Amino acid sequence: MRNRRHTKLGHEGQYMAEVDVELIETDEDWSPYLSLEDAYKLEDARAALRRR
């Protein structure tokens, strides 16, 4: 298993946010994926953009 930092873009309407996350890479079919904490961080950023 290997972790690497990545910047994901979250879009909501006309707004965009950059969120730093850690991608988890394994030999499994669903790789790379986010940790649950980073997925919540992305969702929180999108919710903030909805509120402007």
Segments making up each domain of the chain, as ranges? 2-51
pLDDT in tens, 9-44: 988 889 999 999 999 999 988 889 999 999 999 999
Please count the residues of the chain: 52
pLDDT of residue 1: 85
Q: Which residue has the tokens 């996350």?
A: 21
**What's the one-letter identity of residue 29?**
D
DSSP code for 15: E
pLDDT of residue 11: 87
